[in-house]
Amino acid sequence: MQFFQKEIQLKEYRRGFHLITSVIERELPELSKIKVGQLQVFIKHTSASLTVNENADPSVRTDFESHINVMVPENAPYYIHTYEGPDDMPAHIKASLMGCSVTLPVTNGKLNMGIWQGVYLCEHRDYGGSRKLVLTLFGS
């Protein structure tokens, strides 16, 4: 049984949905040592989030951004947490809808996702800055 943990800082991404699978894999040479296990990717922020979705066609990520802006609109008349601008409160809600972490099975030294799956960083702020992730890998 091995336990490995690492904190990484992503480059700044613009508002929207972004594939970051390869960034995560590059940071984790230790993956190759795990025959059976799990990797958790956790984001230390409340206005950006993580999800797993389609890794091929960029139009999927574009449509995610379009639709989530309809589901969680800016300037809803009932928002009271509006100090940091119209993208602030919607970003918090979107973050909880998507979730602050994804946990992926690890098998034979690799992430065992489906061939069409990838990890998305969901940046919900207009200028969210550079986001921090905690990677927790364990297994045998």
Give me the residues that bind its own copies (CB under 8 A), please: 1, 3-5, 7, 36-38, 40, 42-46, 51-54, 57, 59-60, 62-64, 66-68, 70-72, 76, 78-81, 89, 92-93, 95-105, 107, 112-114, 116-117, 120, 132, 134, 136, 138-140
Other beta carbons less than 10 A from residue 102's beta carbon:
20
The distance of closest approach from Cβ of residue 54 to its own copies in the complex, given in angstroms and rounded to an integer, is 4
The distance of closest approach from Cβ of residue 22 to its own copies in the complex, given in angstroms and rounded to an integer, is 17
Please name every residue paired with 89 in a beta bridge, in sequence order, or none if there are none.
Answer: none
- Cα distances from 131 to residues 7, 45, 75, 118, in angstroms, run 11, 7, 25, 18
Of 25 and 138, nearer to its own copies (C-beta) is 138
How far apart CA 45 and CA 88 sit, in angstroms, is: 12
Of 87 and 120, nearer to its own copies (C-beta) is 120
Of 105 and 109, nearer to its own copies (C-beta) is 105
CB neighbour list of residue 95: distance below 8 Å, 6 or more residues apart: 45, 46, 47, 48, 49, 122, 124
